[in-house]
């Protein structure tokens, strides 16, 4: 049995930018251990498995190299991009993704973008002790932090003033690992090239210590920046080594609509019989 697999650059900002994402289309449900093993074998930061549920409805499961994830933001864009590109759904039809965090809708934005609608995520204001802790991890002065918060899933967010050198930040990995945060996001206002804010995102993991492009953190960032800037449409640039760009719409209360481009880089077959032989006991 052969499954189709693809490598997609999602949320791109030019050639060979964005987040390389693996997308595997399933014909039937797959064992979780096999999905995790294959994700580790492929080696991208995220692998999304796509199984058709019914017409225009798809079951999505997301994996890093080490664990299953409840949601993958840029993976949703990669999956939607391929579903339309391969003709599984007509361009005018809205998609429904069934995930561990509930239903997510996606649609095609002509000529070559996808828009994915996520539930907004609130955050709690960070106390001064934690502001000092995460500022120290980043090598920043706490005085440069304009506002800060922590989400329910322990994403720490620091917004710094425009003078802070986001591109040159290098967090201390050991301190980040011991901080208890799943992600440390640093954002700043950015008026260059039509942008509203910029972003860098770090994780305690050693395999991928920085998100090349992050999508899910905008569930918290976009509504906050929208309130501060008094705008409902925003643009964010990711200042990672590859860079990424996402358009955000917060006009619908409680929702964040993320629009971005994705590009298919590679198409391949996954030979499951070979994988089964690897997993057989010796």
CATH numbers and ranges of domains, the chain: 2-119+262-279 (3.10.310.10), 123-253 (3.10.310.10)
pLDDT (0 to 100) of residue 38: 94
Q: b/e per residue, 114-143, with b = 16+ CB within 10 A?
A: bbbbbebbebeebeeebbebbbebbebeee
- Which residues lie below 8 Å from residue 15, measured CB to CB, with a gap of 6+? none
Q: List the chain pLDDT tens, one digit each, 282 residues.
A: 567 999 999 999 999 999 999 999 999 999 999 999 999 999 999 999 999 988 779 999 999 999 999 999 999 999 999 999 999 999 999 999 999 999 999 999 999 999 999 999 999 999 999 999 999 999 999 999 999 999 998 999 999 987 668 988 999 999 999 999 999 999 999 988 789 999 999 998 767 899 999 999 999 999 999 999 999 999 999 999 999 999 999 999 999 999 999 999 999 988 766 566 655 554
pLDDT (0 to 100) of residue 278: 58
pLDDT (0 to 100) of residue 55: 76
Pull the structure tokens for residue 96: 């429904």
| Residue 229 three-state SS | helix
pTM of the model: 0.93
pLDDT (0 to 100) of residue 204: 86
Residue pair 97/61 in contact (Cβ under 8 Å)? The answer is no
Pull the structure tokens for residue 242: 């590859």
Please state, as a whole number, how many other Cβ atoms lie within 10 Å of the Cβ of residue 176: 21
pLDDT (0 to 100) of residue 276: 64
pLDDT (0 to 100) of residue 185: 97
pLDDT (0 to 100) of residue 270: 85
Please state, as a whole number, how many other Cβ atoms lie within 10 Å of the Cβ of residue 265: 13
pLDDT (0 to 100) of residue 51: 95
């Amino acid at each position: 049995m052969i499954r189709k697999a693809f490598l997609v650059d999602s949320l791109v900002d030019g050639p060979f930018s964005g987040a390389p994402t693996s997308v595997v289309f399933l014909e039937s449900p797959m064992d979780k251990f096999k999905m995790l093993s294959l994700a580790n074998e492929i080696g991208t930061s995220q692998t999304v498995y796509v199984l058709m549920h019914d017409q225009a409805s798809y079951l999505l499961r997301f994996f890093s190299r080490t664990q299953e994830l409840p949601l993958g933001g840029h993976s949703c864009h990669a999956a939607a991009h391929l579903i339309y590109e391969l003709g599984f759904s007509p361009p005018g039809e809205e998609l429904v993704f069934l995930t561990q965090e509930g239903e997510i809708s996606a649609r095609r934005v002509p000529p070559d973008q996808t828009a994915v609608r996520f539930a907004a995520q609130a955050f709690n204001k960070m106390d001064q002790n934690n502001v000092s802790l995460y500022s120290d991890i980043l090598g920043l002065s706490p005085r440069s932090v304009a506002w800060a918060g922590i989400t329910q899933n322990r994403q720490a967010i620091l917004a710094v003033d425009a003078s802070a050198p986001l591109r040159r930040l290098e967090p201390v990995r050991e301190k980040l690992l011991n901080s208890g945060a799943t992600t440390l996001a640093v954002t700043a206002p950015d008026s260059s090239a039509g942008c509203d804010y910029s972003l860098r995102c770090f994780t305690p993991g050693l395999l991928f210590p920085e998100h090349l492009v992050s999508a899910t953190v905008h569930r918290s960032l976009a509504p906050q920046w929208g309130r501060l800037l008094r705008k409902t449409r925003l643009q964010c640039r990711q200042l990672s080594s590859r860079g990424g760009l996402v358009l955000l719409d917060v006009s619908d209360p409680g929702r964040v609509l993320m629009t971005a481009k994705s590009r298919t880089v590679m198409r391949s077959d996954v030979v499951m019989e070979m994988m089964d032989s690897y997993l057989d006991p010796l």
